[in-house]
Amino acid sequence: MTVAAGIGYALLALGPSLSLFTAVISHKPFLILTLLSSTLAWLMTLIALSAVWRAFLPFKTAAWWPYALLILTSVAFQEALRLFLWRLYKRMEEILDAFADRVSKPRLFITDKMQIALAGGMGHGVAHAIFFCISLLTPAFGPATYYVEKCSQIPFFLVSAIIALAFATIHTFSMVIAFNGYSEGKRVDQYFAPVVHLAAGMLTLMNLASGGCMIGIPLLYGITILTLAHCGKMVWTTLTQNRSRVGNVLY
Amino acid sequence: MEENPRPRTILETCGEEIIRIVTPVSICMLSVVILVSILNGGSSSSGDLPISSMATIAYTENSSDSIWDKLKGALLNSLVFVAVVTAVTFLLVLLFYLGCTKFLKYYMGFSAFLVLGFMGGEISLLLIQSFSFPVDCITFAIVLFNFTVVGVLAVFMSKMALFVTQAYLVVIGVLVAYWFTLLPEWTTWVLLVAMALYDLAAVLLPGGPLRLLVELAMSREEDIPALVYEARPVINDSGPSGGAVQRRVWREGRGRPVMNENEGLSSNTRTVLASGENERDYVNAEEGRVNELAVPLIQHVNIRMNSTEDNVPSEDLVLEGIGLGSSGAIKLGLGDFIFYSVLVGRAAMYDYMTVYACYLAIIAGLGITLMLLAFYRKALPALPVSILLEQYSEDHLFTEASSDHK
C-alpha cells in the first residue's frame, strides 16, 4: 500500500496508545522505562512462541483445531508471563518504597501503582500491535494493496489494524485489572485477564470462515468494551474506597 | 472534603537521568533508520559500495566470495581497525601527558568542521537528489557553511546553549553512523564485536589506554579532550538530603570548590576530538579528501569515563558540603551513539521488525549499563551488554522467517 495508507493503518492500530502515552506516560520517566521493559519482555515472549511453533507451520490440514491449539498454548504462555511480571512488580514496589523512605518522600499512591500497571499493559498492547500488524505493513509498501477472499470487503491490512487496535486496548487495560486483582485478592479480577485474552483469541478463529470477519470483529470489540467498562468500574470503586478510607483516618 | 495538592511522589522523578540519555540515543537511532530507508531503499543489504576506508583497507568484500573468505577478510579488517584505534589512543594519551591539550582542542574543532561540512554536505546532496528538491548551489553552500560553523562553535566553544550543543552532537553522531552503514556487511558485524571487546579491554585492564587516560586526567584534574554527550543535570529539590539521590557520575576537574555549575558545564563542553592523526591516513578514494570515520569511534573508546572514576572521598565531601544540588550529569560518549545507530541502521537494511527488536535490546542494554554505573561508580564499557542482547534477539528473529498469525 502507499506510504500514506501505511501511516494511516499504523496510526489506526497504535494511535490511541500514542495518545495515552503522550497524556499519561511521557511525563513520568519511570513509566517510560516500565513501558520499554514491558514491551521488550512481551516481544521476547512472542518471538519465543513463534520460534517454537515455526516448526509446525504452515498447517497441512484445513481444519480449525490446530489453530485453536496454537492460540491456547500462546495465551497460556503469556498469562504465565503476566504472573511472573506481577512477582517482579511486587519486588520493585518494595524497592521503590524503601527508596521513597530514604529520601523522605511519600510512598507510592494507589494511582501511582495503577499507572505502573497501565504502562506495563501498554507495553503488552504495543508489542502485540507491532508484532501482528506493523510487521505486515512495513514490507508491503508499493502501489497496490491486498485483499483476502475470506474477508473481501476491506483490505487485509485494514483488517489487521482494526484487530490490532482491539487487542492493544484489551491488553493495556486487562493488566490494570489483573494487578489490582492480585493486590486485593479479588478472584473475579484475577481471572478476568486470562479469560478475556483466551476468548478474544478464540474469537479470531471465526475469521477463518468465509465472511466470518463480519461477525468476529464486532464481537471482538464487544469484548474490548467489556474490558474497558470493567476496568473503569474497578478503578472507580478502588479510588472511592481509598478516599473514604483516608477520610475516615483524617476525620 | 478538600484535597491538598498532592505531594510529588518518587514516580515523577525516578529514572529521569536514564530517560535523558535514552531520548537522544533513540532520536539518533531513529534518524539513522530513516536515512537508511530513504537513501538505501533500492539496493539490498549486501551493498557492494566501493567505499574505501580504514575499515576496509585489508579486504574489500565481494558478494561472490565464499563465507569463509568473507569471515577471514572481515576479521582482518577488524584487526587492522582495532590496531589503528589502539595506536591512536596511545598517541592521544601521550599528547595529553605532554600537555598539548590546546592542540587537541583545535583539532577537535577542525574535525567537527569536516564531519559537518563534508559528510553533512554529501548526505544532504544525496537527499536533495532523492527528493528532487529545487535549490541552487549558492544557497546550499551558504546554508551548509553557516550550519557547519555554528556546529563547530557549539562543540568547541563553551557558552552555547546546552540544547544546541546536544543537537549538534546528535547530528554528528547520525552523520558518522550513516557513513558506517555503507561498509560491507560482514565487516560491520565483526567490527562491532571487535570494538566491544576492545572496549572491555581498554577500560578494565590496568594497562588499557582508556584507563591510563582517565587516571591521567584525574590526577591532573583536567578535562579529557573528547566529544561527549552530556545530559542536562537533574536538579534535586529534596534539600539537604539530596546526597542519597545524587549519583556522582563524572567529576570533571571540579577540584576547586568555588566552581559553579556553569563553569562545570563549560569545562565539559570544552572537549577535544580525540582522534589524533588517524584521519589523514584514511582517504576517500573518489574525492581524495580526509574523512573522519575513525574519529568518533575513538571517541567512544575514550569516553567510557562515561561514569565516575573511583571517587576520592575528600573531593566528595567538598562537593557535597557545598551542596551544589546537581548530581553530576550522565555523559555518554559519541562513539556509543554511533555504534548503536550503526547496529540499528544495518538492521534496517533487512527488515523493520529486526530494527524494533534491536532497538529494544539496545535500550535495555543501555539501561542495565547505566544502572551498573550507579552501582559500581566506575568507568564502564557501554557496548557489551547491548551487543549481547541484540545478537540474541536478532538470532531469534532470523530463525523464524515469517510471522505467523495466531
Q: What is the pLDDT of residues A150-174, one digit of tens each?
A: 888 889 999 999 999 999 999 999 9
Euclidean distance between CA atoms A113 and B10, whole angstroms = 12
Q: Is B41 within 8 Å of chain A by CB?
A: no
Q: Based on the residue annotation, tell me whether B223 is a catalytic residue of this protein.
A: no
Distance to chain B for A237, nearest Cα, Å: 18
Q: Do A105 and B401 touch (CB under 8 A)?
A: no
Cross-chain CB nearest to B406 (options A43, A71, A100): A71
Question: What's the pLDDT score for residue A118?
Answer: 95
Q: Is A3 within 8 Å of chain B by CB?
A: no
Name the closest residue on chain B to residue A101, using Cα atoms: B10
Q: Is B357 within 8 Å of chain A by CB?
A: yes
Whole-number Cα distances in Å, A1 to A10, A133, A156: 12, 14, 10
Q: How confident is the model at residue A196 (pLDDT cuts 50, 70, 90)?
A: very high
Q: Is B395 within 8 Å of chain A by CB?
A: no
Q: Do B400 and A103 touch (CB under 8 A)?
A: no
Contact list in A for residue B12 (CB cut-off 8 A) is 27-28, 30
Whether A24 shows a pLDDT value over 80: the answer reads yes
| Test mutation, B4, B9, B350, B351, chain A, max A CBs within 10 A | B9
Q: Do A130 and B241 touch (CB under 8 A)?
A: no
**Prediction ipTM score:** 0.86
Is the CB of residue B199 less than 8 Å from the CB of residue B297? no
Question: What's the pLDDT score for residue B332?
Answer: 79
Cell of B278: 588517524
Per residue of chain B (406 residues), give pLDDT as tens: 444 556 677 777 777 888 888 999 999 999 999 999 888 765 444 444 445 565 566 666 666 667 788 888 888 888 888 888 888 888 888 888 888 888 888 888 888 898 899 999 999 999 999 999 999 999 999 999 999 999 998 887 767 888 898 999 999 999 999 988 888 888 888 888 888 888 888 877 877 777 787 778 778 776 666 777 877 776 655 444 333 333 333 333 333 333 333 333 333 332 222 232 233 223 222 222 233 333 333 333 333 333 333 333 333 333 322 222 234 567 777 888 888 999 899 888 888 888 888 899 999 888 888 877 766 655 556 666 666 666 666 665 554 433 333 3
Euclidean distance between CA atoms B163 and A92, whole angstroms = 34
Q: Do A70 and B241 touch (CB under 8 A)?
A: no
Q: Do A43 and B11 touch (CB under 8 A)?
A: no
Q: Do B404 and A53 touch (CB under 8 A)?
A: yes
Whether A115 shows a pLDDT value over 60: the answer reads yes
Q: Do A108 and B364 touch (CB under 8 A)?
A: no
Q: How confident is the model at residue A105 (pLDDT cuts 50, 70, 90)?
A: confident
Tell me the percentage of chain A whose pLDDT exceeds 70: 98
DSSP collapsed to 3 states, chain A:
CCHHHHHHHHHHHHHHHHHHHHHHHCCCHHHHHHHHHHHHHHHHHHHHHHHHHHHHCCCCCCCCHHHHHHHHHHHHHHHHHHHHHHHHHHHHHHHHHHHHHHCCCCCCCHHHHHHHHHHHHHHHHHHHHHHHHHHHHHHHCCCCCCCECCECCCCHHHHHHHHHHHHHHHHHHHHHHHHHHHHHCCHHHHHHHHHHHHHHHHHHHHHHCCCCHHHHHHHHHHHHHHHHHHHHHHHHHHHHHHHHHHHHHHC
Cell of B217: 586526567
Question: What's the pLDDT score for residue B121?
Answer: 93
Cross-chain CB nearest to A130 (options B15, B241, B356): B356
Q: What is the pLDDT of residues A69-100, one digit of tens each?
A: 999 999 999 999 999 999 999 998 888 888 88
Helix, strand or coil, per DSSP, at residue B348 = helix
Distance to chain B for A136, nearest Cα, Å: 8
Q: Do A135 and B403 touch (CB under 8 A)?
A: yes
Question: What's the pLDDT score for residue B299?
Answer: 34
Q: Which of B281, B310, B336, B404 is catalytic?
A: B336
Length reported for chain B: 406
Q: Is B219 within 8 Å of chain A by CB?
A: no
Q: Which of B65, B69, B136, B199 is catalytic?
A: B199
Is the CB of residue B387 less than 8 Å from the CB of residue B365? yes
Query: Taking a contact as any Cβ pair under 8 Å apart, which residues of chain A between 13 and 42 contact chain B?
Result: 27-33, 36-37, 39-40
Q: Do A103 and B15 touch (CB under 8 A)?
A: no
Our CA dihedral for B3, B7, B8, B9, rounded to 10 degrees, sits at -100
Say which residue, A27 or A61, is predicted with more confidence: A27
Is the CB of residue A93 less than 8 Å from the CB of residue A117? no
Question: What's the pLDDT score for residue B16?
Answer: 83
Q: Based on the residue annotation, tell me whether B48 is a catalytic residue of this protein.
A: no
